Amino acid sequence: MAYQLLINFFLAFIWMFLTGSFTSSGFFVGYILGLLILFMMRRFFRSGGGGFYFTRVWRLFKLLLIFIRELFLANFEVLRLVLSPTLKVQPGIFRYETTLDKGWKVSLLSMLITLTPGTLVVQVSKDNSVLYIHALNMPDKDALRKDIYDNFESSIKEATE
Amino acid sequence: MKQNSKRVNDVILQTASIIIFFIIVIFSINLFFAGHYSPGGGFIGGLMTSAALVLLLLAFDSNTLSKVLPIDYRLMTATGLLIALATGLHSLFFDRPFLTHAYGKFDLPLLGEQTLHTAIAFDLGVYLVVIGVTMTIIQTIGESE
């Protein structure tokens, strides 16, 4: 994955030297052309695992969009809870088993959970496999678990596999 | 900095601090070079760099940091003072008063025409002294259990 990005940068620099335009726009044009060449040669990179690297960038961008949507929805949910005349919340802490393997993926998931209002990661277990999450309102913890999995964990898996 | 007494998993703090560390360091270098025409300079740049190192100290511990960066901060302070002193003394060889700065336009390869000024060397001395002193203070306090 990373070396495709390096090749792309290298192609952009070659383009700059060929055209003699050492500007940001020259670099950008070279980068786009290099991206096209890499896209045509994407079957080359099958053996190294992963395929074309820009699909991963696109998936990360999709994760960002999902996060923004969730942020808005959860903010309005918390607003509704706060402004309601009677406070009918059921706060609590529940376990969330995750299957993400690396520490930085678990950190990314935790930050996404924490930044969406109403849920907050309290602690991570020693082997990075269990998150303890505090929720402002959890009448049904399994629904919340499924919500987190569908929105964040599956997207992170997709983007980083 | 207590050893072997960790009951919690700091994975989120460590991942975040590694990423933020590089951003703070590049920002501090920018501050260091910005000192001539815009706010910034050696002092604030050095403080910013030591703040990045302190962030690593908070996320990991002092042993890890000394393994990653085996720097003797007292020597760093001495080096910075020497650089600043040499910058002040060089003008004496050209029959100018102490701390007179020289500057000029130079045609560098790849970079084009740049104005170089000996004040940047003096600032580098200040930068090293600030990092050295800050880190010496923090390490001395942190390791005296």
pLDDT in tens, B64-92: 888 888 999 999 999 999 999 998 888 88
Contact A107 B11 (CB under 8 A): yes
Q: Which two tokens stand for residue A86?
A: 């009677």
Considering only the beta carbons, identify the residue of A104, A108, A125 that sits closest to B9.
A125
Backbone phi, psi, residue A86, to 5°: -110, 130
Contact B16 A123 (CB under 8 A): no
Smallest CA–CA distance from A106 into chain B, residue: B12
Q: Which residues of A touch B6 (CB under 8 A)?
A: none
pLDDT at B1 over 50: no
Please tell me the pTM assigned to this model: 0.78
Q: How confident is the model at residue B145 (pLDDT cuts 50, 70, 90)?
A: low
Q: Which residues of B touch A122 (CB under 8 A)?
A: none
Given a contact cutoff of 8 angstroms between Cβ atoms, the answer to whether B121 and B79 are in contact is no
Backbone phi, psi, residue A129, to 5°: -105, -15
Per-window interface: B 15-54 vs A, CB < 8 A: 15-16
Cα angle, residue A82 at apex, residues A81 and A85 outer, rounded to 5°: 85
The pLDDT tens digits for B3-21 are 455 677 888 899 999 999 9
Q: Looking at CA atoms only, how far is residue B7 from chain A in angstroms? A: 8
Q: Looking at CA atoms only, how far is residue B16 from chain A in angstroms? A: 8
**Does residue B141 sit at the A interface (CB-CB below 8 Å)?**
no
Given a contact cutoff of 8 angstroms between Cβ atoms, the answer to whether B42 and B132 are in contact is no
pLDDT on residue B31 = 92
The pLDDT tens digits for B32-60 are 988 878 898 899 999 999 999 999 999 98
- Taking only the tens of pLDDT, chain A with its 161 residues reads 678 888 899 999 999 999 888 888 889 999 999 989 888 887 777 655 566 788 888 888 998 998 999 899 888 988 988 898 888 888 889 898 888 888 888 998 999 899 888 889 998 988 888 999 998 888 877 888 888 888 888 888 887 76
Contact B9 A107 (CB under 8 A): no
Q: Which residues of B touch A126 (CB under 8 A)?
A: 9
Which of A115, A126, A130 has the highest number of chain B CBs within 10 A, making it the mutation to test binding with B? A126
pLDDT on residue B133 = 95
pLDDT on residue A115 = 87
Q: Which residues of B touch A123 (CB under 8 A)?
A: 8-9
DSSP strand pairing (B112-117 vs A92-97): unpaired
Convert B26-75 into a string of H (helix), E (strand) and C (coil). Answer: HHHHHHHHCCCCCCCCHHHHHHHHHHHHHHHHHHCCHHHHHHHCCCCHHH
Q: DSSP code of B92?
A: G
Backbone phi, psi, residue A119, to 5°: -125, 150
Distance CA A34, CA B18 (A): 31
Distances (CA, A) of B20 to A94, A113, B14, B74: 30, 20, 10, 26
Per-window interface: A 55-114 vs B, CB < 8 A: 103-104, 106-108, 110-111
pLDDT on residue A89 = 84
Average pLDDT of the residues of chain B: 86
Contact B16 A111 (CB under 8 A): yes
pLDDT on residue B2 = 46
Given a contact cutoff of 8 angstroms between Cβ atoms, the answer to whether B130 and B47 are in contact is yes
Which residues on neighbouring strands pair with residue B112, listed in sequence order?
B108
